[in-house]
């Protein structure tokens, strides 16, 4: 089993990425939610993977979070749902929203995924409800939010240090950085540029 692949992001498609590791390019199928969160091509990336083997099929499926693999495997355990169906679901609904939908018995939200009818969605709710615990779902969501906050603060601190090194006062630098809304795909460089624009106004 390949647990994860870490290397250079070489290519990004609609539903796949290619990651090069030691001269080998791994084609990994990913949901649309992962594609929207990827860094620039050429960046180093780590993808958690699931190797799907069936007769003449050998495919790698990947996610940015390890816990997403667990949910993907749970979906594969539902009768009538294969890897393509599971990927379609996770391209439409985030892992967190899917877990909350299952626990709330919200089959309508799940049925919005392409190729997933109301009967299949209801079957998913029935088969997965006992495999998910509300307390664990909340804990994982809170842990993820705390991680995001930590990453945001780290980027902001580095941007403030860079502005200070350029000759701006720490107070002005901090004020400018905090005036910029930090998004998930923002790097120190993009935050620095946006902060400089704020300071030039």
pLDDT in tens, 20-30: 999 999 999 99
- Lowest mean pLDDT of 46-60, 97-111, 144-158, 168-182, name the range: 144-158
| 86/104 Cα distance (integer angstroms) | 19
Query: Which of 129, 123, 89 shows the shortest CA–CA distance to 109?
Result: 89
Confidence category of residue 160, pLDDT binned at 50, 70, 90:
confident
Task: Report the Cα–Cα distance between both ends of the chain, in Å, rounded.
Answer: 54
pTM score? 0.64
Q: What is the pLDDT of residues 116-128, one digit of tens each?
A: 888 888 988 888 8
Q: What does the block give as tokens for 137?
A: 């779902």
97-114: per-residue pLDDT in tens? 888 888 888 888 888 888
Distance CA 176, CA 42 (A): 30
Long-range contacts of 95-101 (CB under 8 A, 24+ apart): 95/65, 95/67, 95/68, 95/71, 96/137, 96/140, 96/141, 96/144, 98/71, 99/71, 99/132, 99/137, 100/137, 101/125
Tell me the C-alpha to C-alpha distance, in Å, between residue 89 and each of 32, 105, 145. 10, 16, 22
Among the listed ranges 53-57, 71-75, 86-90, 196-200, which one has the minimum average pLDDT value? 196-200
26/158: higher pLDDT: 26
Q: How confident is the model at residue 135 (pLDDT cuts 50, 70, 90)?
A: very low
pLDDT at 48 over 50: yes
Higher pLDDT, 39 or 151: 39
CA distance 95 to 91: 9
Q: How high is the pLDDT of residue 8?
A: 96
CA 56 to chain centre: 29
């Amino acid at each position: 089993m390949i647990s994860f692949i870490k290397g250079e992001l070489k290519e990004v498609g609609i539903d796949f990425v290619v990651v090069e590791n030691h001269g080998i390019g791994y084609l990994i199928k990913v949901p649309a939610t992962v594609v929207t969160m990827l860094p620039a091509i050429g960046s180093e990336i780590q993808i958690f993977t699931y190797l799907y083997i069936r007769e003449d099929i050998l495919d790698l499926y990947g996610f940015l979070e390890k816990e997403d693999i667990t949910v993907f495997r749970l979906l594969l355990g539902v009768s009538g749902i294969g890897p393509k169906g599971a990927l379609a679901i996770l391209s439409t609904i985030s892992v967190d929203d899917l877990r909350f939908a299952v626990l709330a018995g919200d089959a309508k939200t799940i049925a919005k995924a392409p190729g997933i009818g109301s009967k299949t969605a209801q079957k998913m709710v029935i088969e997965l409800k006992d495999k998910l615990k509300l307390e664990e779902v909340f804990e994982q969501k809170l842990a993820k939010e705390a991680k995001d906050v930590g990453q945001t603060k780290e980027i902001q601190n580095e941007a403030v240090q860079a502005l200070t090194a350029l000759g701006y006062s720490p107070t002005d630098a901090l004020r400018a950085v905090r005036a910029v809304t930090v998004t998930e795909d923002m790097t120190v460089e993009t935050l620095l540029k946006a902060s400089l624009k704020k300071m030039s106004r």
